[in-house]
Amino acid sequence: MPRGSEARKVLDKISIYIPQRKADQKVMERLRKQADKKDRSINYLVVEAILQYLDREEKKA
């Protein structure tokens, strides 16, 4: 089992599964388009979205 900074590297990674029922919303295609438009990576956009969600939800608590 990794220790210290090695363990943090493992914990800092996530992957997302886009359910088939959401396929018609073209999630990845839309993310790529926004990433190109903003000259950012898809990862950057996803992390920003997660942080905005967390900030919003934590304010409700």
| Tens-digit pLDDT profile for residues 2-57 | 566 665 666 688 898 999 999 999 999 999 999 999 999 999 999 999 999 999 99
Which pLDDT belongs to residue 5? 61
CA distance 43 to 41: 5
Instruction: Return the percent helix, strand and coil in the chain, to nearest 5.
Output: 75, 0, 25
CA distance 60 to 2: 36
**pTM of the model as a whole:** 0.74
Which pLDDT belongs to residue 13? 84
Residue with the bigger pLDDT between 27 and 61: it is 27
Q: Note whether 38 and 30 are within 8 A (CB).
A: no
Residue with the bigger pLDDT between 1 and 10: it is 10
**Sequence-ordered list of residues with C-beta below 8 angstroms from that of 38, at least 6 positions apart, any chain:** 45
